[in-house]
Amino acid sequence: MSKRDYYEVLGVERGADQKDIKKAYRRLAQKFHPDRNPGDDTSAEKFREVSEAYEVLADGEKRAAYDQFGHAGVDGQAGGGFGGAGAGGFSDIFGDVFGDIFGGGGGRRNPNAPQRGSDLRYNLELDLESAVAGTSVDIRVPRHIECERCDGDGAEPGSSKETCPTCHGHGQVRMQQGFFAVQQTCPTCHGSGQHIKVPCHKCNGEGRVRETRTLSVKIPAGVDSGDRIRLNGEGEAGINGGPHGDLYVQVSIKPHHIFERDGRHLQCEVPINFVDAALGGELEVPTLDGRVKLKIPAETQTGKLFRLRGKGVKPVRGGPAGDLLCRVVVETPVKLDEEQKDLLRKFQESLGGSNSQHSPKKSSFFDGVKKFFEDMKL
């Protein structure tokens, strides 16, 4: 069979620049790539043809030789059905053009060896109450599992695999680079050495199918943001009979409208009015298991923390429950009527001026301010 013109193969003009050549190659190679056309010999042949054309036209030196002498100018180093790959060679072309699509060129790993399936991660948002008490949630997880029809083989039951036509079963193709012969993973079979003639109808030769499963996950009491729950074997199916990967449920806790969590401790803010703060009293504060009474002593200042022991969270890894810290915040009264305002003015008079013993903080603060300005005058 005489070879077609390389420009014709890629469908570009003779004067096409590298960008157009690369674009044309990329489009055709994707179209005919064996991964997308399992078992299709015509596509495999086209893929080879397109790759060979690109190899020559992408290389300035070879392209010049080809332009001048035609196929005779670049042939003669035949190896592995790809013509001679020059410096850089096959892997460079793949790394460059296919790196992001097909995950780069194959390594030295035996592609027929069993491979463990990938782990999966599921992000689960929980409210604080469920996280503290523990719960059970149903999650829907899409994943790949082994195809039942072909037992993960990829070949339609009753049909058999054939020896790969590109590498003749070696899994590697040999290329000449000057004096050196370089082995590369076969691009047609990705090193397996086998070729599926009749792909399985269910999985299209992939050996795996996608399914979405509903799993019931038990969330232990006390989990916190950043905790992971591992479900053994619930990840992706393995390849070539390898074990399943695992599924990790990654927990994050939604913000709560009352409590803020800090590990095993909880914090909340409790507003009190200034009369209670001054005279002392009893407050009702929320906890995760109901309201409790909290005694506030007389002369309580804003920002004071009250610790309720054991009213925090029991950690998932064991140990005693943490505490609930209630920060009281004195609230300035609003919407006062004239009579109430009058009472406050009278109350203010009864305190006797700003440097009163009734406001020690304020007095010492203004003493400090006074001293500060006096010192500045010196």
Q: Of 189 and 316, which CB lies nearer to Zn ion in the complex structure?
A: 189
- The answer to whether residue 197 forms part of the interface with Zn ion (CB under 5 A) is no
In this complex, which beta carbon is closest to Zn ion, that of residue 4 or of residue 168?
A: 168
Determine which residue in the list 71, 202, 256, 327 makes contact with Zn ion, applying CB under 5 A: 202
**Shorter beta-carbon distance to Zn ion: residue 150 or 219:** 150
Interaction of residue 200 with Zn ion, rule CB under 5 A: yes
Annotated binding-site residue? 326: no
Identify whether the C-beta of residue 292 lies closer than 8 Å to the C-beta of residue 308: yes
CA distance 52 to 236: 36
Could you say which of 186, 219, 277, 325 contacts Zn ion (CB under 5 A)?
Answer: 186
Identify residue 103 by its one-letter amino acid code: G
- Which one, of 71, 77, 19, 69, lies nearest residue 49 by Cα? 71
**Site for Zn ion (CB under 5 A): how many residues?**
12
Identify which of residues 64 and 78 has a Cβ nearer to Zn ion in the complex: 78
Could you tell me the two tokens for 120?
């999966």
Count of positions (residues) in the chain: 378
CB 342 within 8 A of CB 350: no
Q: How far apart are CA 185 and CA 170, in angstroms?
A: 9
Which position among 44, 128, 132, 203 is part of the footprint of Zn ion (CB under 5 A)?
Answer: 203
CB of 239 to Zn ion, least distance (A): 13
**Residues 58, 37: Cα–Cα separation, whole Å:** 25
| Range 138-177, binding Zn ion (CB under 5 A) | 147, 149-150, 164, 166-167
Largest CA distance in the chain: 113
Q: Which span (19-27, 138-146, 189-197, 274-282) binds Zn ion, by CB under 5 A?
A: 189-197
- Whether 214 and 231 have beta carbons less than 8 Å apart is answered as no
Are 264 and 312 within 8 A, CB to CB? yes
Task: List residues forming the annotated binding site for Zn(2+).
Answer: 147, 150, 164, 167, 186, 189, 200, 203
Task: List residues forming the annotated binding site.
Answer: 147, 150, 164, 167, 186, 189, 200, 203
Task: List contacts with Zn ion (CB under 5 A).
Answer: 147, 149-150, 164, 166-167, 186, 188-189, 200, 202-203
